[in-house]
Amino acid sequence: MLSVAIGGAVILAVVGLLSARPDVAAMGLPLALWSGFAIARGTAGGEAKVRIDALPGQDGELLTAIAVESDAEAVEMVIVQSERRTRRVIVPGGGSSVTARSTVLHSGPAIPVQAAARGFSLEGAALSKTAGPVAAGRQVAPPRRPIDALPLPRRLIGSHGAHEGRRQGQGGDFRDIHAFAPGDEVRRVDWRATARMARRPGDLLVRRTNTLSDSSVVIAMDTSEDLGEVVSSWGSGDLERSGVTSLDLAREAARAIADSAIGAGDRVALHVLVHGGRSLRSGSGSRHLARVVAAIAATGQAREDASFRRTPPVPHGSVIFVLSTFFEGAAAQTALMWRASGHRVVAVDVLPPLDRTRLTRAQLIGLRTVLAERENVFADLHGAGVDVVTWADDPSSALLAIARARR
C-alpha cells in the first residue's frame, strides 16, 4: 500500500511538471504527505500473537477461543475450521478474542480450528509479519454405550472380583462340606453339618465356597483403515461426507467394553495394533478407566508405513476383543494366534452399514468381491472358535448371548 502511494505521488508530480499543470502535481501532494508520515512512523505493523484455548461446550460441538494481541490499529485473522472452511475476520488491535464453534462429526483426534493473524495500521500501509498458523488439537471421546454383560475367560485366575470361579475360595456360592484341615478358619465350621455327619467325636466339618475372581479383558484396536458408511468416499479423506466411520465404531466399542469391564471390577488392557501403537497395561479402577478413555480418544488412523509387526503381550487367561473391519488379514491372524494360545477371543466387526449409492458397476463388483473375502475370514474365525460380533447391529444382545452360552 505504501509503495503504491509513493509511486502515485511521483507519477502525478512528473506528469504535472511535464504538462505544466500545477493542479495535477498538487493532486499528488496528499499522497506524498501521507507516505512521509507513514515512513516517519514506521512501515512495520505491530506484531500479532495468536493464542487458542479450548472452551467447555455442549455435546456435539467444540468451542474454541481465539485470542490475538497486537499494538497495531487492527488485526486481520484467517480462521480455518475443520481443515476445510476458511474465514477472514478483522478485529481491533490491543487484544481481541473470537469464539469459534465447530460441530463434532467424529470421535478421536481432531483439529477444529487453525488461526493466523497479522496486524496493520495506517489503513494497511503498515503490515506486520503473519503470526501462525496456530493449531490446537482436540481429542473427542466416543459416546457412551451400555453393555449388559461381557463374555468371561474360560478360566478365571484372579483372587478377588465379582465373577464366581471354579476354584475353592471365599465369597462365592456353596461348594461342598469337607473335613476340617490345617489352614481352615474356625469361623468356617458348619456346626449343623458336624452334628449330623461327624463320624468320630472331635471331628469338625467346614463349609467351603467357590472363590470370586476378576476377569482380564484386553482390547485390541486395528487402526490401519478408517472406512465410512458412504463407500464412494473411501480413500478420499472426506470425513464430512463419509458418515460414521469404522474407527468411530471402534472407539465407541472400545469405550463400551472398558466401561462394562471396569464397572464389574475387572482389569482392562488396551493395545493399538500398529507399529508404535499405544499400549496400556492391565489395570482397574476409575483412574485407569480415565486413562483408557483418553487413550481411545487419542487413537486415530495409522500411517500407511505403520503396519502391524508384533503381537502385543497379554495376561494369561484373558478374554480378548479384536476390533477391526477384517479387510486386512493381520487382525484376523492375530486373533487366530491368540485363540491358539488358549485365550478366549471375540472378533468385533466395526464396519458401518454401507451406502452403495453413486458407485459404478465396476466399483460394485469390486465391493462385492472384498466383502465375500471378508466373509471367508469370518468363516475361518468361527471355525477356530472365535466369536464374531457386529457392532453396528445389536452388540449388547450378542455379547450377552455369548456370555450366557458358555457360562
- By the 10 Å C-beta count (0-12 exposed, 13-18 middle, 19+ buried), 313 is classed as exposed
What was the pLDDT predicted at 287? Answer: 95
Are 240 and 232 within 8 A, CB to CB? no
Q: Which residues contact 183 (CB under 8 A, 6 or more apart)?
A: none
**Whole-Å CA distances, 89 to 68, 103, 125, 215:** 12, 20, 18, 55
Query: Dihedral (C-alpha) 392, 393, 399, 402: value to the nearest 10 degrees?
Result: -130
CA 79 to chain centre: 24
What was the pLDDT predicted at 30? Answer: 65
φ and ψ at residue 359, rounded to 5 degrees = -100, 140
Residue 123 DSSP label:
G
Using alpha carbons, select from 230, 221, 234, 236 the residue that is nearest to residue 353. Answer: 230
CA distance 177 to 314: 37
- By the 10 Å C-beta count (0-12 exposed, 13-18 middle, 19+ buried), 129 is classed as exposed
Using alpha carbons, select from 318, 331, 376 the residue that is nearest to residue 223. Answer: 331
Based on C-alpha coordinates, what's the Rg of the chain? 34
Q: Which residues contact 350 (CB under 8 A, 6 or more apart)?
A: 246, 247, 249, 250, 253, 323, 324, 325, 391, 392
Are 104 and 64 within 8 A, CB to CB? no
What was the pLDDT predicted at 114? Answer: 86
CA distance 208 to 167: 10
Strand partners, 87: 79
CA distance 90 to 227: 39
What was the pLDDT predicted at 326? Answer: 93
- By the 10 Å C-beta count (0-12 exposed, 13-18 middle, 19+ buried), 357 is classed as exposed
Residue 252 DSSP label:
H
Residue 124 DSSP label:
G
Query: Mean pLDDT of residues grouped by 10 in the chain (407 residues)?
Result: 57 64 65 58 62 80 84 80 80 79 85 83 66 82 90 69 55 60 68 71 70 80 90 80 91 95 90 85 92 93 68 86 90 92 93 90 92 94 94 90 75
φ and ψ at residue 153, rounded to 5 degrees = -60, 160
Are 138 and 95 within 8 A, CB to CB? no
CA distance 325 to 228: 11
What was the pLDDT predicted at 43? Answer: 47
> Residue 363: how many CB atoms within 10 A of its CB?
14
> Residue 256: how many CB atoms within 10 A of its CB?
22
CA distance 322 to 384: 15
In the structure grid, which three cell numbers stand for residue 94, read together? 490491543
CA distance 47 to 312: 50
What was the pLDDT predicted at 12? Answer: 59
